[in-house]
């Protein structure tokens, strides 16, 4: 088959157009392409093989990983095909989310602390050490906290709020259930936590003065929100300048029973949606990554999203 026909066949698939467009800006590993596109590793590898066969992309090894990029020595004909593929990719429905996820991946590369943490977390459970536990690490890290004023939105009964209140200047726990707010307030009083205040309100309009807190936390709360984007915009308003929002929530999943079992409005979120909502609210220095994955079905994955006002 002629090189031209091979290239035409290689670019006849929408997924391969997406891959070529993603490789336009920088080289990417298979794992990174998998995270961006949410496609299986074997499927991505097959597509990369076809693109490599017609010399549209090149690869290089770095340790155990293989990185792919647009062929920098592509001739004029191949260059035309590459540009055509990039234009075609822009017409696909997945293009906008692909570009958001690509931006997130490239930003994360520059944050080596995240890479280090993932390495530490990966080693943590492999070797037993007496007294070494996530609970102990959590108490240690709490000791490092500065005297912050924190808004815990969608706090529920306030487990996280109680922990934070033992170190923070003030914690405001917000929930939309009168019964839960009363329970949390009574428990805080019983435990002598005078700096922990429970307030009733919803995520879209928390009863907190604008520009009054150092940190806003949405821990497994956003998937209960009526309007997640509005909740994130409200979090932005509550923060002082240069302060952060932390969002822990589920990665998008297909476990429909979560609506009935847990009262979830949303079946998690794609990283691209969270990034778009954070950016739309005005946040900068946005970082989003998967920080935990359950081994048992339905294999929920937890994502951490961070943004700075």
CATH number, residue 9: 1.10.10.10
Nearest 5 degrees, angle CA 49-CA 55-CA 60?
65
Cα separations in angstroms, 204 against 147, 188, 235, 252, 264: 26, 25, 8, 21, 16
CA 35 vs. chain centroid, Å, equals: 11
Q: Is residue 144 part of a domain?
A: yes
Residue 114 reports pLDDT greater than 60: no
Whether 119 is in a domain gets the answer no
Of 77, 109, 141, which one is at a domain's C-terminal end?
Answer: 109
pTM of the entire structure? 0.68
Angle between helices 14-22 and 95-109 (to 10 degrees): 40
122 falls within a domain: no
Q: Are residues 101 and 136 in the same domain?
A: no
Task: Identify whether the C-beta of residue 167 lies closer than 8 Å to the C-beta of residue 140.
Answer: no
Does residue 115 belong to any structural domain of this protein?
no
Name the least confident of 65-69, 149-153, 172-176, 192-196.
Answer: 65-69
- Our CA angle for 126, 32, 116, nearest 5°, is 40
pLDDT at 110: 66
Q: How many domains does the chain have?
A: 2
Side-chain half-sphere exposure of 11, counting CA atoms within 13 A:
24
- Render pLDDT for 165-205 as a digit per residue (tens, 0 to 9): 988 999 999 999 999 999 999 999 999 999 999 999 999 99
pLDDT at res. 116: 60
Higher local confidence (pLDDT), 231 or 54: 231
Q: What's the CATH code of the domain at 167?
A: 3.40.50.150
3-class secondary structure, 151: strand
- Tens-place pLDDT, residues 226-274: 999 999 999 999 999 999 999 999 999 999 999 988 889 999 999 999 9
**Digit-coded pLDDT (tens) for 274-290:** 999 999 999 999 999 88
DSSP one-letter code for 252: P
Whether 7 maps to a domain, the answer reads yes
Domain boundary among 109, 141, 162: 109
Is there a single domain that holds both residue 25 and residue 92?
yes
Q: Indicate whether 44 and 168 sit together in one domain.
A: no
Q: Do residue 160 and residue 269 come from a single domain?
A: yes
- Percent pLDDT > 70 in the chain is 92
Q: What percent of the chain has pLDDT over 90?
A: 62
| Structural domain boundaries enclosing 159 | 129-308
Residue ending a domain, choose from 74, 109, 144: 109
**pLDDT-derived band at 145, boundaries 50, 70, 90:** confident
pLDDT band for position 90 (cuts 50, 70, 90): very high
pLDDT at position 132? 66
Task: With respect to residue 205, please indicate whether it lies within any of the assigned structural domains.
Answer: yes
Segment 201-216 shows an average pLDDT of 96
* pLDDT surpassing 80 at residue 216: yes
101 shares its domain with 179 = no
With 60 as the cut, is the pLDDT of residue 36 above it?
Answer: yes
Whether the predicted pLDDT of 49 surpasses 60: yes
Assess whether 104 and 202 both reside in one domain. no
Between 117 and 213, the more confident residue is: 213
In a domain? residue 123: no
């Amino acid at each position: 088959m002629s090189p031209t026909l091979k290239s035409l066949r290689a670019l006849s698939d929408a997924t391969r157009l997406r891959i070529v467009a993603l490789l336009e800006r920088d080289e990417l590993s298979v794992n990174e392409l998998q995270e961006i596109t949410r496609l299986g590793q074997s499927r991505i590898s097959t597509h990369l093989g076809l693109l490599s066969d017609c010399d549209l992309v090149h690869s290089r090894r770095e340790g155990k990983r293989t990185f792919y990029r647009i062929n920098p020595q592509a001739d004029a004909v191949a260059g035309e095909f590459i540009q055509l593929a990039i234009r075609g990719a822009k017409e696909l429905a997945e293009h906008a989310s692909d570009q958001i996820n690509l931006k997130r991946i490239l930003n994360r590369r520059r944050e080596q602390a995240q890479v280090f943490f993932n390495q530490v977390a990966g080693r943590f459970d492999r070797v037993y050490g007496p007294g070494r536990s996530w609970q102990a690490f959590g108490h240690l890290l709490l000791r490092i906290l500065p005297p912050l004023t924190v808004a815990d939105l969608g706090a529920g009964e306030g487990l996280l709020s109680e922990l934070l209140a033992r170190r923070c200047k003030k914690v405001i726990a917000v929930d939309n259930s009168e019964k839960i707010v009363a329970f949390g307030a009574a428990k805080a009083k019983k435990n002598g936590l005078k700096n922990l205040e429970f307030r009733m309100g919803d995520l879209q309009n928390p009863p907190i003065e604008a520009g009054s807190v150092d940190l806003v936390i949405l821990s497994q709360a956003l998937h209960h929100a009526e309007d997640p984007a509005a909740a994130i915009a409200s979090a932005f308003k509550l923060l002082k300048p240069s302060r952060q929002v932390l969002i822990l929530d589920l990665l998008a999943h297909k476990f429909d029973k979560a609506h009935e079992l847990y009262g979830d409005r949303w079946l998690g979120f794609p990283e691209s949606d969270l990034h778009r909502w954070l950016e739309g609210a005005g946040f900068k220095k946005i970082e989003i990554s998967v920080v935990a994955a359950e081994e048992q079905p339905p294999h929920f994955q937890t994502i951490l999203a961070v943004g700075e006002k």
